[in-house]
Structure 1
Amino acid sequence: MSLLTYHARTKHRPQRYAAGPETLDWDAQPDPFRRYAGAQQVALPLPAAQRRTPWAALFAPGAIPPAAPTLESLGLLFELSLALSAWKQAGPDRWAVRCTPSSGDLHPTEGYLLARGVAGLPDGLHHYTPELHALERRASLAAAPGTAPALAVGLSSIHWREAWKYGERAFRYCQLDAGHALGALRYAAALLGWRLHDLRPGHEAIARCLGLDRPEDFADAEPEEPDLLLAVDFGAPVEVHWQGLHDWQGRANRLDAHPMYRWPVIGEAARASRAQAEAPATAGSAAPSTSTSTSTSTSTSAAAAATAPAAAPSAHADAESLIRRRRSAQRFDPTARMPAQRLWPLLAALQPRRGDAAVLPWDALPQPPAVQAVLFAHRVDGLAPGAYLLPRGADGAGDGALASLQAVLPHLDWQRVAEAPGPLWRLALHERLPAALRTLSCHQALGAHAVFVIALLADLAPVRTEPARYRALLREAGLAGQVLYLEAEAAGLAGTGIGCYFDDEVHALVGLPAEPVAGAQWQVLYHFSVGQALRDERIRTEPPYPHRSPASPPP
């Protein structure tokens, strides 16, 4: 099965949704936490509450000097990316929310750490367990006297966590979630003065480095699909060799003892989209045969990024609180409005480059930007209700995307919005846009009551010859969602990712043709809504780690 066939097969339609479970037993929901029984644990510190870093400092070159790799800094890295941010309770129901958003709060993404030379942490592979904010030691690393400290972070997906609720569409959501997690890690790394480099060693090498190719450690537990392996650059040139893992310990827990459905098409899509080993875009190399090696020295592009002007941040909030209080809005105030001047910084944050340099968090992507943004403005004072294209690229035209879309959509307005400080093109005016987007967002009020909605779309035609590009496009869309989540919070608003929409009907609203035109096949990958959240007073908020800290979480 080709990936374009999978994408078409998993579209929601007004007449029928993509194949999914006919019923859900909420009392039998899969365990939200993966654990490795028998693995030794190292508790991580929780330093975020004692820090107050201005949000703007993350975007100011040199404002945050690189921190040393210690248990304290690792604690912050994971606390502000993959950790719990609070517990919620409504009546008898209690659930955790995390710094990283997830489709349906199901959290299929697992985090791993490869570490060498960190005091108090044995060299080797560790699994991060957000339930305890601790590292579970999975394997030891062969001794290498005199080697400088080195770190790499790995991400994987447990497809069943999403498939349990969403069926065949789950592979899409897992990749969007991986993009959110990548963004969360990049922001957290910036608070330490660190950068991340995607090593791109290929599927087999990631599986080997993260111990995901060991069936004896999983038995009847749900498997994990390797996603990413990221080298951590904390300022000093380091040559890292992640080989010689031994003394394996821990067995994965089973999350769902009695699964009611099977969705084999998810595995087919995963196998079809797996990447082969390739040389990373930044300095260093990956050797998939027996090891993964990289030099995390500061590259020319990193030096350029350090001098590139950054987008103006939306507010002066402190980054630690902003990240920990991020929530997916459940309801929006349908009367809320915002001035266009508050919108421009949010749109600017979606631009991946300033001049020739990639900027935070887009510098974590190894490939050029390929996802474009269509803005549906509902109640933005100074911007007429309608659809607008935000080309994402250094040249103001989405690096060719603008010309491609103009060729596909010649009948639209294509008027440049003079008031916008960056490139923004009006496609069409829509007086009844909120009602239309409510219907097209699977009848969710989040589409109608938002101040604005952004549809993230990409040309899927290259996926025919580059199957791994499918994952890359979905991850980039997820990363854009993470940017919008945090920028919305910084602007005093809230956001919600919308994965449920009627694909082809959204295309029709934008004007995209059903068949490829001029070799392009533009498809919507993700929706994101921003508005003024309404708080549900019936839900009580509790600290994320009450047994370890008396501090209350941000509301």
Structure 2
Amino acid sequence: MNALEYHLRTRHFPNRFAKSLGYLDWENQPSPYKSYFEAEQIPLKKITPPKKTYEKLYLKNEPNPINLETIALMLRYSLAINAQKVYGPSSWYVRVNPSSGNLHPEETYIIFKNGVYHFNVKNFSLELLAKSDKNIIENGFLIILNSIPLRESWKYGERALRYCLLDSGHAIAALRFSTNLLGWNMKKARIEKEYFLSKFNFHQNEEEIFEAAFFVFEDKIPDIDLKILKNLEFKTAYSPLSKEKVRWEIIFESAKKLKDETKSEFIKKDISFLPSAFDAYEIIDNRRSALGFKQKYLPKNDFLDILDKTLHRKIPPFDVEITANLIDFLIFVNRVEGIESGIYYFDRKKAKLSLIEKGDFSQSAKFINCVQDLGSDSAFTINMIAPIPTNENYKSIMFESGMIGHILYLEAEAKGVRGCGIGCFFDDLITKEILNDEKKIATYGFSVGVPLIDERIIKL
């Protein structure tokens, strides 16, 4: 099944949702944490970061030395646990990076100097999977991002591959902002994935899907000796994530056909910043998905500034060169001071906002987004759209959607409001009914507004 066939088959409709189990098998919910029990555990230090002004998320920073302490700082402010939600007798952890349903399909591996490591999120440690007498990589390190679809398909069934790709986009953007604050560069690693992943034994209990790999460095792309890597002995035994599982063949059949051959295209438009009351690390650490919204207005300048930050410039996070500037926005403006309520189209290549129709369409935004109040109560709600995908660009399209979502999360926090990603929407109502364009697909939704306070959050 090719990318387009997969995306069309996993659409939601008002009278029919994409295929799933139809219930939540709580006895067999996959663990969101993976641990290699035979590997040596290397605890990471939690370091208080320096103060960085908000705009430093996007601008160049002075480089820090690359070592385990600074790698720990990078992970702490991109992929780590940083809070707990408590509701009655139940509690669960939440992380710096967003994920649909807080299910977190991502797994992170790092090749640094002479070691291959897995990031153990729960313990905030690195697990040494393999070690060499000689350095595998010089002048930086390599990050590998994978997904375990089982964590998403447990709840979302066939649509899970979409969420794996979107969550990978979130993770890529989170890593890029974090590496940039440390003064490092991060670029897509263009090496044959089968060659350097052959020893990782990702198929022992649950299947992992390779998503992307990135070099992280100060000024020169690292040298990596794949021959050393290929000959290493790996300790890859890990505990099963669930007792029983349902394997959705469509996910793995479709994922195998996806390529990664996108060429990045950037717009040339100067960036400017509105002042923020929060510093960069504070914004990252405070990011949460809004529980709901108060029906209050957002200033026009904040709205326009948020849109501006999503433009595909050659700065973080898009400078990792894994996206192609293919996403535009259908926007429901519900409550923005100085802008008439209505449906708008935002062309990201031209940085142009156009009115489609005036009026209060907040209830339409609610219905289209699976009848969720997030659509109607927000200041504005975005539905991201893209051209008909191919096997070559589908990953890039979904990564870009997730990366934009992460920008929207941080920008909302910088403005003192909050955002929430929306993965559930009625695809055809967006593309066929409103846009009247069968050559577009809907990829992701996002709302921004004044949040209801989630009293369950305990910062860690």
1:331-364 Cα shifts (integer Å, max 9, x gaps): 111x2111211111101101112xxxx1221111
Aligned residue in 2 for 1:254: 240
Query: How far off its partner does 1:252 sit?
Result: 2.4
Query: How far off its partner does 1:46 sit?
Result: 1.2
| Aligned match for 2:336, one of 380, 394, 415 | 380
Aligned residue in 2 for 1:478: 402
Aligned residue in 1 for 2:211: 227
Query: How far off its partner does 1:109 sit?
Result: 0.7
CA pair 206-499 structure 1, distance change in 2 beyond 3 A = farther
Work out whether residues 25 and 154 of structure 2, in 8 Å CA contact, stay in contact via their aligned partners in 1: no
Query: How far off its partner does 1:148 sit?
Result: 4.2
Work out whether residues 373 and 454 of structure 1, in 8 Å CA contact, stay in contact via their aligned partners in 2: yes
Work out whether residues 115 and 149 of structure 1, in 8 Å CA contact, stay in contact via their aligned partners in 2: no
Aligned residue in 2 for 1:82: 79
| Aligned match for 1:272, one of 246, 254, 257 | 257
Secondary structure of the residue aligned to 2:142 is strand
Work out whether residues 86 and 457 of structure 2, in 8 Å CA contact, stay in contact via their aligned partners in 1: yes
Aligned residue in 1 for 2:309: 349
Work out whether residues 113 and 127 of structure 1, in 8 Å CA contact, stay in contact via their aligned partners in 2: yes
Secondary structure of the residue aligned to 2:271 is coil
Query: How far off its partner does 1:27 sit?
Result: 4.8
Query: How far off its partner does 1:41 sit?
Result: 1.2
Query: How far off its partner does 1:540 sit?
Result: 4.6
Aligned residue in 1 for 2:321: 365
Aligned residue in 1 for 2:179: 189
Query: How far off its partner does 1:226 sit?
Result: 0.5
How far apart, CA to CA, are the structure 1 residues paired with 2:259 and 2:151?
Answer: 20
RMSD over aligned CA atoms reads: 2.3
Work out whether residues 388 and 427 of structure 1, in 8 Å CA contact, stay in contact via their aligned partners in 2: yes
How far apart, CA to CA, are the structure 2 residues paired with 1:424 and 1:41?
Answer: 51
Aligned residue in 2 for 1:535: 453
In the alignment, does 2:442 pair up with 1:524? Answer: yes
Percent identical pairs in the alignment equals 32
Aligned residue in 2 for 1:133: 124
Secondary structure of the residue aligned to 2:227 is coil
Query: How far off its partner does 1:269 sit?
Result: 1.0
Where does 1:274-289 land on structure 2 (aligned, <5 Å)?
A: 274-275=259-260
CA pair 12-505 structure 1, distance change in 2 beyond 3 A = same
How far apart, CA to CA, are the structure 1 residues paired with 2:172 and 2:275?
Answer: 21
1:401-420 Cα shifts (integer Å, max 9, x gaps): xxxxxxxxxxxxxxxxxxxx
Query: How far off its partner does 1:392 sit?
Result: 1.5
How far apart, CA to CA, are the structure 2 residues paired with 1:50 and 1:275?
Answer: 34
How far apart, CA to CA, are the structure 2 residues paired with 1:198 and 1:140?
Answer: 24
Secondary structure of the residue aligned to 1:506 is helix
Query: How far off its partner does 1:473 sit?
Result: 0.4
| Aligned match for 2:362, one of 411, 419, 434 | 434
For 1:82, give the aligned amino acid: L
Where does 1:349-498 land on structure 2 (aligned, <5 Å)?
A: 349-353=309-313, 358-393=314-349, 396=350, 423-431=352-360, 433-461=361-389, 463=390, 467-498=391-422
Work out whether residues 493 and 530 of structure 1, in 8 Å CA contact, stay in contact via their aligned partners in 2: yes
Work out whether residues 153 and 230 of structure 1, in 8 Å CA contact, stay in contact via their aligned partners in 2: yes
1:225-247 Cα shifts (integer Å, max 9, x gaps): 00111001212464333431213
How far apart, CA to CA, are the structure 1 residues paired with 2:430 and 2:33?
Answer: 35
For 1:178, give the aligned amino acid: S
CA pair 237-264 structure 1, distance change in 2 beyond 3 A = closer
Query: How far off its partner does 1:40 sit?
Result: 0.5
Query: How far off its partner does 1:511 sit?
Result: 2.2
CA pair 274-366 structure 1, distance change in 2 beyond 3 A = closer
Secondary structure of the residue aligned to 2:42 is strand
CA pair 469-206 structure 1, distance change in 2 beyond 3 A = farther
Secondary structure of the residue aligned to 1:424 is strand
In the alignment, does 2:273 pair up with 1:312? Answer: yes
1:228-272 Cα shifts (integer Å, max 9, x gaps): 11001212464333431213113122111122x331111111112
Runs of 4+ with >6 A deviation = none
How far apart, CA to CA, are the structure 2 residues paired with 1:133 and 1:44?
Answer: 6
CA pair 426-498 structure 1, distance change in 2 beyond 3 A = same
Work out whether residues 88 and 541 of structure 1, in 8 Å CA contact, stay in contact via their aligned partners in 2: yes
Work out whether residues 12 and 424 of structure 2, in 8 Å CA contact, stay in contact via their aligned partners in 1: yes
Query: How far off its partner does 1:203 sit?
Result: 4.0
Query: How far off its partner does 1:57 sit?
Result: 2.3
Query: How far off its partner does 1:28 sit?
Result: 3.7
For 1:454, give the aligned amino acid: I
Aligned residue in 2 for 1:95: 92
Q: State the TM-score, normalizing by the size of structure 1.
A: 0.78
Work out whether residues 180 and 482 of structure 1, in 8 Å CA contact, stay in contact via their aligned partners in 2: yes
Work out whether residues 80 and 99 of structure 1, in 8 Å CA contact, stay in contact via their aligned partners in 2: yes
Work out whether residues 312 and 345 of structure 1, in 8 Å CA contact, stay in contact via their aligned partners in 2: yes
Work out whether residues 258 and 394 of structure 2, in 8 Å CA contact, stay in contact via their aligned partners in 1: yes
Secondary structure of the residue aligned to 1:31 is coil
Work out whether residues 387 and 510 of structure 1, in 8 Å CA contact, stay in contact via their aligned partners in 2: no
Secondary structure of the residue aligned to 1:268 is helix
In the alignment, does 2:310 pair up with 1:325? Answer: no
How far apart, CA to CA, are the structure 1 residues paired with 2:388 and 2:197?
Answer: 27
Query: How far off its partner does 1:58 sit?
Result: 2.9
Query: How far off its partner does 1:525 sit?
Result: 0.4
Secondary structure of the residue aligned to 1:78 is helix
Query: How far off its partner does 1:428 sit?
Result: 1.8
How far apart, CA to CA, are the structure 2 residues paired with 1:445 and 1:197?
Answer: 38
Query: How far off its partner does 1:142 sit?
Result: 4.9
For 2:190, give the aligned amino acid: R
For 2:214, give the aligned amino acid: L
Aligned residue in 2 for 1:43: 43
Where does 1:54-203 land on structure 2 (aligned, <5 Å)?
A: 54-61=53-60, 64-116=61-113, 123-144=114-135, 148-203=138-193
Query: How far off its partner does 1:50 sit?
Result: 4.3
- Alignment gaps of 5+ in structure 2: none
How far apart, CA to CA, are the structure 2 residues paired with 1:350 and 1:469?
Answer: 19
Work out whether residues 55 and 313 of structure 1, in 8 Å CA contact, stay in contact via their aligned partners in 2: no
Work out whether residues 512 and 522 of structure 1, in 8 Å CA contact, stay in contact via their aligned partners in 2: no
Aligned residue in 2 for 1:511: 435
For 1:85, give the aligned amino acid: N
CA pair 231-541 structure 1, distance change in 2 beyond 3 A = same
Query: How far off its partner does 1:144 sit?
Result: 4.5
Secondary structure of the residue aligned to 2:14 is coil
For 2:458, give the aligned amino acid: T
**Residue correspondences, number:** 458
How far apart, CA to CA, are the structure 2 residues paired with 1:226 and 1:112?
Answer: 11
Work out whether residues 373 and 456 of structure 1, in 8 Å CA contact, stay in contact via their aligned partners in 2: yes
